[in-house]
Amino acid sequence: MLNRLEGKRCIVTGGGSGIGRASAQRMAQEGAAILVVGRSKDNSEETAKLIRDAGGKAAAMVADATDEAAVQAMVERCVAEFGGMEVFFANAGTPGTGAGILEQTVEEWNDVWKVNVISCMLAIKHAGRHMVAHGGGSIILTSSAGSLRANAGAISYCASKAAVNNLAQTAANAFAGQLVRVNAVLPGLVETKMTRTVFEYAAARGKADRIGYMVPLRRPGQPHEIASMVAFLASEDASFITGQCYAVDGGISSSHPAGKTTV
């Protein structure tokens, strides 16, 4: 394992499971101290314990990534716990529903926008303020390959993730000259708590082997494969990279696979 993050202090939201947990573990393996943040005390502490049991340094915190005071408190806790903060992985997210465009509700869009976009804005605002004052850092946002084209997820979800892509680009330019890098990771279909129903539905129909058949690599991804990109963007190996959106999706966004449409 590489040791690119030795001495770095990192916050990971949505760190209790899936991509967040895998990324927290990967960055800890590379030498970082991790503040694992989630809405569930049990899940967040479990991730932190997994890191500590493996010889890493981690603490857990229960907080709402869409609440401004809570995000500011995350930064303060990381600094108090570990002495600083150089990396913020804004990974909190919600999938939305599969309702057709004519059945979409304002309530769903408000909720999805708040969790998927506002949480990223708050991470950028409060992590960025600290990083500007302390020599820079890396902010990483979780978007989705579904942000790039239609029919790769719920309408509200895909639209919100497209906003995250633009937020990464505009924030990177807003921090010009401040040594604060902002990038987005765009996972494809990965087996996590958020996508579990897709995998369970396929298994129930006896079609588990068909999951990922439209992907050039002919399989779904795994959380640790997204974590590899997160760790790279957190490290100095990515020191000349900002304002970019990286699809980690087995190649599906390189083509135009047909998908289901609903009205």
Q: What would the pLDDT profile of 130-180 be if each residue is shown by its tens digit?
A: 999 999 999 999 999 999 998 888 999 999 999 999 999 999 999 999 999
**pLDDT at position 198, please?**
61
Q: Give, to the nearest 10 degrees, the angle between helix 155-174 and helix 119-133.
A: 20
In whole angstroms, how far apart are CA 82 and each of 25, 32, 73, 86? 17, 10, 14, 11
Tell me which residue of 222, 219, 216 sits closest to 202, measured CA to CA. 219
- Residue 96 in this model has a pLDDT that exceeds 70: yes
Split at pLDDT 50, 70, 90, the class of 209 is low
Q: What is residue 128's three-state secondary structure?
A: helix
The token duo for 187 is: 């996972």
How far is Cα 191 from Cα 159, in angstroms, rounded to an integer?
21
Per-domain residue ranges of the chain: 9-190+222-247
Split at pLDDT 50, 70, 90, the class of 194 is low
Is 213 a catalytic site residue? no
**pLDDT at position 93, please?**
96
> How many other C-beta atoms are found inside a 10 Å radius of the C-beta of residue 3?
10
Lowest mean pLDDT among 6-20, 83-97, 105-119, 246-260: 246-260
**Is the separation of the CB atoms in 8 and 31 below 8 Å?**
yes
Question: No. of H helices and E strands in the chain?
Answer: 8, 7
**pLDDT at position 1, please?**
73
**pLDDT at position 28, please?**
98
- Residue range 32-52, pLDDT digits in tens: 999 999 999 999 999 999 999
Task: State what percent of residues in the chain have pLDDT above 70.
Answer: 91
The label of the residue with tokens 């990109």 reads 229
- Residue 168, sorted as left (phi over 0), alpha (psi -120 to 50) or beta, turns out to be alpha
- Residue range 210-230, pLDDT digits in tens: 677 789 999 999 999 999 999
Tell me, what amino acid is at 57?
A: K
**pLDDT at position 97, please?**
92
pTM of the model: 0.94
**pLDDT at position 204, please?**
59
Lowest mean pLDDT among 36-40, 64-68, 75-79, 258-262: 258-262
**pLDDT at position 39, please?**
94
Lowest mean pLDDT among 89-93, 204-208, 256-260: 204-208
- Residue 207 in this model has a pLDDT that exceeds 60: no
Lowest mean pLDDT among 67-76, 133-142, 182-191, 192-201: 192-201
**pLDDT at position 216, please?**
92
Q: Which of 157, 201, 213, 246 is catalytic?
A: 157
**pLDDT at position 214, please?**
83
- Please state which architecture CATH assigns to domain 9-190+222-247: 3-Layer(aba) Sandwich (3.40)
How far is Cα 54 from Cα 79, in angstroms, rounded to an integer?
23
Split at pLDDT 50, 70, 90, the class of 202 is low
Q: For the residues 168-197, what does the mean pLDDT come to?
A: 90
**Is the separation of the CB atoms in 6 and 29 below 8 Å?**
no
